[in-house]
Amino acid sequence: MKSYVNPGEQLVVALYVRDIKDSSEFYRSYGFEVVRDEGTFMELKWEDARLFLSAVPGTPPPPVTPIGNMRVMVRDVDSYWTLANKMGAKILSPIQDQYYGLRDFVIAGPDGLALRFATWL
């Protein structure tokens, strides 16, 4: 079956955020690039994938425990581990080799969605 849209636009995470500036700075600090900035809406990209941030008035504070995580595959996960520690990220799961074939770690994001950086073993 032929794809309806290109792979980078097929599945996009859209986050409702309390502070779009803080949220975008968090993702940009780890390498996401801003594609579009309309003030209360931002489109960021990681390679071919997209992340939408929408500032929604009255958005409640993020939960203490993240609702899930967004995995980002990278060539050198150890360099991202070093960056996360240097930036003082809240570590939810330290870097380690996993039984499922990845070396990864998880940090807390600003809006209740954690960020997992991983590479193949």
The identity of residue 45, as a single letter, is K
Asked whether 100 and 120 are in contact (CB, 8 A), the reply is: no
- Domains held by the chain: number: 2
CATH number of the domain within which 107 lies: 3.30.720.110
pLDDT at 66: 93
| Tens digits of pLDDT across the chain (121 residues) | 788 888 777 889 999 999 999 999 999 999 999 999 999 999 999 999 999 999 998 888 888 899 999 999 999 999 999 999 999 999 999 999 999 999 999 999 999 999 999 999 9
Same domain, 40 and 82: no
Q: How many other C-beta atoms are found inside a 10 Å radius of the C-beta of residue 94?
A: 10
Question: Which of these three, 40, 59, 78, is where a domain ends?
Answer: 59
Per DSSP bridges, beta strands 13-17 and 49-55 are: parallel
Last residue of a domain, one of 15, 34, 59: 59
Q: What pLDDT is stored for residue 8 in this prediction?
A: 76
Is pTM beyond 0.85? Reply is: yes
Q: Do 38 and 90 reside in the same domain of the chain? A: no
- List the Cα angle 73/94/54 in 5-degree steps: 55
For residue 93, the enclosing domain spans: 62-121
Give the per-residue pLDDT at 114. Answer: 97
Q: List the CATH number of the domain containing 6.
A: 3.10.180.10
